[in-house]
Amino acid sequence: MKKLTKEKYGEWALITGASSGIGREMARIIAQKGISTILVARDKEALEALSLEIEKTSKVETKVIVTDLGKEEEVYDVISACKELEVGLLVNCAGYALSGEFTDNALEDELDMLSVNVKAPLMLTHHLAKAMKERQRGGIVFLSSIMALAGAAKWANYNATKAHNLLLAEGIGEELKKDNINVIAVISGSVDSGFQERSHTQSALGSMRPETVAKYSLWMLQCKRTYIPGMMNKLIALSLRTAPRFVGTKIFSNVVNKLTSQGA
Ligand SMILES: NC(=O)c1ccc[n+]([C@@H]2O[C@H](COP(=O)([O-])OP(=O)(O)OC[C@H]3O[C@@H](n4cnc5c(N)ncnc54)[C@H](OP(=O)(O)O)[C@@H]3O)[C@@H](O)[C@H]2O)c1
């Protein structure tokens, strides 16, 4: 991760979902590389604890923004708070899965997940990428999921949000490469984090550690547009490429069904 530097990306990184899991690990690594961090999530206590830890262990500044990214006006508040800062690295990590059959879930809950997983990263990226373009440098990370590769019953909308993350990253990555801006979509498999508790699921077999996913994803930012952490996940993605789509949906639906019934 030689080139994850202030010189390459700029003074500040904004990390959503920094209170837990992959986002927290990304924030730690980015700070260790000498880039100041803006930590965004709802859990004030967790963000403040991370901020203290980072300022103690890395010689960088931190800012804590306690925000519900499901609320459009609060996303605009985050954008305003970044106005005077040179944010050269954006990590779109905040996200969660709403489990259950689509028509059984409340529409507001499905819309909230859409806002957190899709609308917030889209808004932040739209705003911050413009400034990166002017500076002709930057990096953007999207936490997609292996679940983006096929639909699944009981996670229909979640998988669709992750497919949006993936395709948006691929498209804007292609647009922004001429501006010296690296964009990566991390197609992560199961990771042991706060995710399982929030989505009422169990970890899948072969779950990875958040620090491993964070480290290798940042490592790959300058080399790849899409990155699949872990050999097993790579093999799953490869086999889905040649299988008819309904097979992927069957397999993923079975997996989600198993994980959600164990987690309920
Ligand atoms: N864990 C997995 O198995 C897995 C697999 C593939 C992809 N992913 C993706 O990886 C990303 C990170 O997940 P994780 O595994 O690190 O899970 P996690 O430990 O549950 O972390 C999720 C983060 O998102 C934040 N968040 C959730 N709702 C929010 C809201 N309304 N406003 C602001 N922040 C919000 C949480 O903070 P607060 O609660 O403090 O707001 C937390 O910091 C997610 O996008 C997820 O879809 C995870």
In a domain, 182, yes or no: yes
In a domain, 243, yes or no: yes
d(C-alpha 92, C-alpha 76), whole Å: 15
**Mutational pocket test of ligand 1: of 14, 20, 47, the residue with most ligand atoms within 8 Å of the beta carbon:** 20
Residue of the nearest CA to atom 23 in ligand 1? Answer: 17
Our answer on whether the CB atom of 229 is closer than 6 Å to any ligand 1 atom is no
Ligand 1 mean position, distance from CA 134 (Å): 30
Q: How many other CB atoms are there within 10 angstroms of residue 223's CB atom?
A: 10
Phi, psi of 187 (to 5 degrees): -95, 80
What pLDDT sits at residue 232? Answer: 95
pLDDT band at 206 (very low <50, low <70, confident <90, very high): confident
Q: Is the pLDDT of residue 49 over 80?
A: yes
Residues 141-189 pLDDT 10s? 999 999 999 999 999 999 999 999 999 999 999 999 999 999 999 999 9
Residue of the nearest CA to atom 45 in ligand 1? Answer: 95
User: Looking at ligand 1, which atom is closest to the CA of residue 146?
Assistant: 6
Q: How many other CB atoms are there within 10 angstroms of residue 45's CB atom?
A: 9
Looking up residue 17, the CATH number of its domain turns out to be 3.40.50.720
Would the pTM count as exceeding 0.85? Answer: yes
* Placement of tokens 């990566």 in the chain: 184
For residue 241, the enclosing domain spans: 6-263
Our answer on whether the CB atom of 121 is closer than 6 Å to any ligand 1 atom is no
d(C-alpha 242, C-alpha 167), whole Å: 19
User: Looking at ligand 1, which atom is closest to the CA of residue 197?
Assistant: 20
In a domain, 67, yes or no: yes
H or E element in which residue 235 lies: helix 231-242
β-bridge mates for residue 188, sequence order:
145
Q: Is the pLDDT of residue 43 over 70?
A: yes
Enter the tokens of residue 157. 């909308």
Task: Return the ∠ at Cα 74 (arms to 71 and 76), rounded to 5°.
Answer: 115
* Mean predicted confidence (pLDDT) in 34-59: 97
Ligand 1 mean position, distance from CA 22 (Å): 8
Ligand 1 mean position, distance from CA 244 (Å): 30
- For residues 16 and 121, the answer to whether their CB atoms sit within 8 Å is yes
Our answer on whether the CB atom of 41 is closer than 6 Å to any ligand 1 atom is yes
Residue of the nearest CA to atom 12 in ligand 1? Answer: 93
* Mean predicted confidence (pLDDT) in 79-85: 94
In a domain, 181, yes or no: yes
- For residues 245 and 152, the answer to whether their CB atoms sit within 8 Å is no
pLDDT band at 202 (very low <50, low <70, confident <90, very high): confident
In a domain, 107, yes or no: yes
Q: What letter does residue 10 receive in the DSSP assignment?
A: -
What pLDDT sits at residue 3? Answer: 83
Q: How many other CB atoms are there within 10 angstroms of residue 67's CB atom?
A: 20
In a domain, 10, yes or no: yes
What pLDDT sits at residue 264? Answer: 47
In a domain, 195, yes or no: yes
Find the catalytic residue in 9, 96, 158, 227. 158
Ligand 1 mean position, distance from CA 249 (Å): 23
In a domain, 1, yes or no: no
Share of the chain above pLDDT 90, in %: 93
Ligand 1 mean position, distance from CA 93 (Å): 6
Look at residue 16 and give its three-state secondary structure.
Answer: strand
Q: Bigger pLDDT: 207 or 1?
A: 207
Quick check: is 158 catalytic?
Answer: yes
What pLDDT sits at residue 2? Answer: 56
* Mean predicted confidence (pLDDT) in 103-113: 98
Total of domains in the chain: 1
Mean model confidence pLDDT for the chain = 96
